[in-house]
């Protein structure tokens, strides 16, 4: 919600990680959540683990863990624990994984067992507290929260946020507000304080107090309004007979591109809503506790290396409110960051078609299909979206990308053109579509249109290095504008020297002008950056041959034949012929040597 992370969270982020992870302040043996969830451990670390008695089940769990099949990993670990119940490390691993999979009741059971063996990991208290609150065991939940570590990240953030909603469950409004008030002492948490204090007052029917807190958020220019904040406040206005304020609030944020589609759906629902038929969103303490857990997860995601912590908190949030679509969106986003695309799709499939986020979810699902290289599924889904909403900018843009990836360049041009027509001419994102159009035209054999689109993208993007590289390389392929091509590629390289494709272009530029020594230098670097790229390998083979390193050239060409060519530039039959017969001496392109020499001097040099 706020534009900045609280100073408490920034300065004490290591404390929360340490107190619930790694060599913790209170428990030196506690498993690092990032290892327990992500399982980045090395084989050497596995060999050093204390061996459970049921080593077969444990090994199966390790394999499932490394494959990111976390549910299976948890099941195998639990089976292993049956024959080795004193294995504290295994217990810790189990409850963290179970929590990360949303299996909170099971996680709470193992967290309690771990506590009995001396585990004071703060996550045990949080997991148990959330499970108790869900079951209505509020005094027990409160007792667990009071056991959380005494450093400020708990006393000034996590504990008051969660405990306030436990007090709501106990029907104690006064204590809930008193507990949440500590957030108001930190500038970074003021917006969070007003949001939750407003919801608590709203829940208890104290409309005057709720409106005071909600409008403190609206009137604070330093506060970024989250989509959830807009949902909650507009819902309050409608229920309290102030629909005109709800409409005005949403119209104020109708240019927020980040959640434009979601906001438009919310605006439509708001316009059609009546006071009599509008139910409160926060209608139980479980929903409020879910909001608190979501707020913690959102803050943790802003911290470097906070993904694993956020992963567990967002699963706790969904456990408290299984229908919380925005929490499901965050969980799916975390799964995508782990490249667990099918798992993310499974989460998206649980989101109701009635949700304001449903259309956005379908777009994100299609993107996951693309990342899984299931282009047919992505195409089918995007066409379904466009059939229902022909003017969806994102769906048309994404379908253009899918068609280009499938080699259907004419179709790609059509959908890119539609996306461009749906975007304001002065949009800062327009260059992306011109760039995509340029690529599609070039791959479709229409160079005049491609060149025009790429030049337009270059202007609109203010010389973005992707556009510079593509246009410069395209000119090189055609033997045109050699000096301009070299200038663009060098500028692109200076901006992104560790981009393998741009480094390949620079190496190939040197190759085309006959400077094979420099060509080899940059093409070798490109090959290191992109070792599985067929085009780069072919280019490097050519440079080796022209430089007299024939055995290395043949090796690279053989390597080329083993790889998939995503560029569609490599003629594999020609590569086979080069392996068999070698190459003739290349005729360098003619160029202005003085100008090129000056350009070469501007190349950023690395140690």
Does the pTM surpass 0.85? The reply is no
**pLDDT by residue (tens digit) across 527-558?**
999 999 999 999 999 999 999 999 999 999 99
* Confidence at residue 27, expressed as pLDDT on a 0 to 100 scale: 26
Residues 402, 375 contacting (CB under 8 angstroms): yes
Phi, psi of 102 (to 5 degrees): 80, 10
* Confidence at residue 245, expressed as pLDDT on a 0 to 100 scale: 97
Name the average pLDDT for the chain: 88
* Confidence at residue 20, expressed as pLDDT on a 0 to 100 scale: 33
Mean pLDDT of 147-169: 91
- Distance in angstroms (rounded) separating the CA atoms of residues 35 and 33: 5
* Confidence at residue 54, expressed as pLDDT on a 0 to 100 scale: 62
**pLDDT by residue (tens digit) across 289-302?**
999 999 999 999 98
Q: Above 90 in pLDDT, residue 34?
A: no
* Confidence at residue 224, expressed as pLDDT on a 0 to 100 scale: 79
**pLDDT by residue (tens digit) across 368-396?**
999 999 999 999 999 999 999 998 889 99
- Distance in angstroms (rounded) separating the CA atoms of residues 312 and 130: 12
* Confidence at residue 52, expressed as pLDDT on a 0 to 100 scale: 60
Mean pLDDT of 215-238: 91
DSSP-derived secondary structure letter, 475: H
Q: Dihedral of CA 190/193/195/198: which sign?
A: negative
- Distance in angstroms (rounded) separating the CA atoms of residues 398 and 376: 13
* Confidence at residue 517, expressed as pLDDT on a 0 to 100 scale: 96
Structure tokens at 58: 């444990």
Q: What residues does 2 pair with on adjacent strands? A: 223
* Confidence at residue 607, expressed as pLDDT on a 0 to 100 scale: 42
CATH of segment(s) 463-601: 1.25.40.10
Spatial CB neighbours of 236, under 8 Å, sequence gap ≥ 6: 198, 202, 207, 210, 211, 214
Structure tokens at 375: 């282009």
Mean pLDDT of 210-239: 93
Domains of the chain, residue spans: 463-601
**pLDDT by residue (tens digit) across 12-33?**
332 333 333 322 222 222 233 4
Mean pLDDT of 439-466: 96
Mean pLDDT of 416-423: 92
- Distance in angstroms (rounded) separating the CA atoms of residues 476 and 293: 55
Q: What residues does 160 pair with on adjacent strands? A: none
Distances from the Cα of 507 to the Cαs of 522, 543, 561, 601, 605, in angstroms?
5, 9, 21, 15, 14
Structure tokens at 391: 């003017």
Q: Above 80 in pLDDT, residue 492?
A: yes
Interior angle at CA 368, CA 366 and CA 369, nearest 5: 65
Task: Write the secondary structure of 254-321 as one string of H (helix), E (strand) and C (coil).
Answer: CCCHHHHHHHHHHHHHHHHCCCCCCCCCCCCHHHHHHHHHHHHHHHHHCCCCCHHHHHHHHHHHHHHC
* Confidence at residue 33, expressed as pLDDT on a 0 to 100 scale: 40
**pLDDT by residue (tens digit) across 559-579?**
999 998 988 899 999 999 999
Mean pLDDT of 412-424: 92
């Amino acid at each position: 919600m706020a534009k900045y992370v609280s100073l408490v969270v920034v300065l004490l982020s290591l404390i929360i990680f340490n107190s619930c992870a790694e060599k913790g302040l209170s428990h030196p043996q506690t498993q690092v959540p990032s290892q327990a969830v992500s399982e980045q451990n090395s084989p050497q670390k596995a060999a050093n683990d204390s061996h459970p008695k049921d080593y077969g089940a444990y090994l199966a769990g390790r394999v499932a863990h490394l494959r990111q099949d976390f549910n299976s990993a948890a099941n195998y670990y639990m089976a292993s624990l049956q024959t080795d119940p004193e294995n504290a490390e295994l217990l810790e691993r189990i409850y963290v994984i179970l929590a990360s999979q949303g299996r909170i009741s099971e996680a709470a059971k193992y967290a309690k067992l771990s506590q009995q063996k001396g585990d004071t990991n703060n996550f045990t208290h949080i997991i148990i507290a959330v499970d108790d609150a869900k079951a209505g065991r509020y005094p027990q939940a409160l007792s667990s929260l009071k056991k959380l570590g005494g450093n400020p990240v708990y006393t000034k953030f996590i504990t008051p946020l969660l405990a306030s909603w436990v007090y709501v469950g106990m029907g104690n409004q006064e204590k809930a507000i008193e507990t949440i008030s500590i957030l108001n002492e930190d500038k970074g948490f003021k917006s969070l304080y007003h949001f939750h204090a407003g919801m608590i007052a709203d829940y208890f029917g104290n409309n005057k107090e709720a409106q005071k807190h909600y409008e403190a958020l609206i009137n604070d220019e330093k506060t970024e309004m989250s989509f959830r904040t807009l949902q909650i406040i507009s819902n309050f206005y409608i229920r309290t007979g102030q629909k005109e304020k709800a409409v005005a609030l949403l119209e104020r944020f109708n240019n927020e591109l980040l959640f434009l589609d979601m906001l438009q759906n919310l605006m439509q629902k708001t316009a059609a809503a009546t006071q009599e038929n509008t139910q409160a969103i926060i209608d139980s303490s479980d929903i409020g506790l879910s909001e608190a857990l979501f707020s913690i997860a959102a803050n943790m995601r802003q911290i470097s290396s906070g993904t694993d912590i956020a992963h567990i908190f967002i699963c706790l949030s969904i456990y408290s409110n299984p229908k919380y679509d925005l929490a499901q969106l965050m969980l799916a986003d975390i799964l995508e960051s782990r490249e667990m695309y099918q798992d993310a799709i499974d989460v998206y499939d649980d989101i109701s078609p009635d949700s304001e986020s449903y259309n956005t979810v379908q777009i994100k699902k299609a993107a996951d299909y693309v990342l899984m290289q299931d282009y047919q599924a992505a195409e089918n889904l995007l066409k379904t979206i466009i059939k229902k909403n022909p003017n969806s900018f994102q769906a048309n843009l994404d379908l253009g990308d899918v068609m280009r990836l499938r080699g259907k360049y004419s179709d790609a041009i059509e959908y890119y053109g539609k996306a461009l027509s749906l975007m304001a001419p002065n949009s800062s994102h327009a260059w992306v579509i011109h760039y995509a159009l340029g690529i599609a035209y070039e791959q479709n054999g229409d160079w005049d249109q491609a060149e025009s689109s790429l030049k337009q993208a270059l202007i609109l993007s203010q010389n973005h290095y992707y556009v510079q590289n593509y246009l410069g390389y395209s000119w090189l392929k055609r033997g045109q504008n050699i000096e301009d091509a070299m200038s663009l590629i060098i500028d692109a390289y200076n901006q992104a020297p560790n981009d393998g494709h741009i480094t390949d272009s620079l190496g190939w530029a040197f190759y085309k002008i006959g400077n094979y020594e420099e060509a080899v230098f940059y093409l070798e670097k490109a090959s290191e950056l992109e070792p599985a790229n067929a085009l780069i390998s072919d280019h490097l083979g050519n440079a080796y041959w022209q430089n007299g390193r024939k055995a290395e050239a043949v090796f690279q060409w053989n390597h080329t034949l083993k790889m998939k060519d995503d560029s569609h530039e490599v003629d594999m039959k020609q590569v086979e012929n080069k392996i068999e017969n070698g190459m003739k001496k290349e005729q360098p392109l003619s160029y202005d040597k003085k100008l090129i020499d000056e350009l070469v001097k501007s190349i950023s040099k690395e140690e």
